[in-house]
Amino acid sequence: MYNCTGGVNGDLPTNLSLSDIDNVTSALLTNDAWMILDTIGGEDKFGKLCAELKLSLIDLEALA
């Protein structure tokens, strides 16, 4: 259990803030907590083939 302290509303616990998330994340990582999901890196997987397929579909629509 963690009471948020980084918010701006003046209550205790406060509203959730980035510093609260950072504190909890660092506490979990330093205590060897298990990750639910593996980290997935962002990738741009759109290539030239998609554009070529789109052009051929446009040509087929024009013929119809």
Cβ contacts of 13 within 8 Å, gap of 6 or more: 3, 4, 5, 7
| Side-chain-side CA neighbours of residue 15 (13 Å) | 4
Inform me whether the pLDDT recorded for 63 exceeds 60: no
Give the pLDDT confidence of 5-54 residue by residue, as tens digits: 888 887 888 888 999 999 998 888 888 878 777 777 777 666 665 666 66
Inform me whether the pLDDT recorded for 55 exceeds 70: no
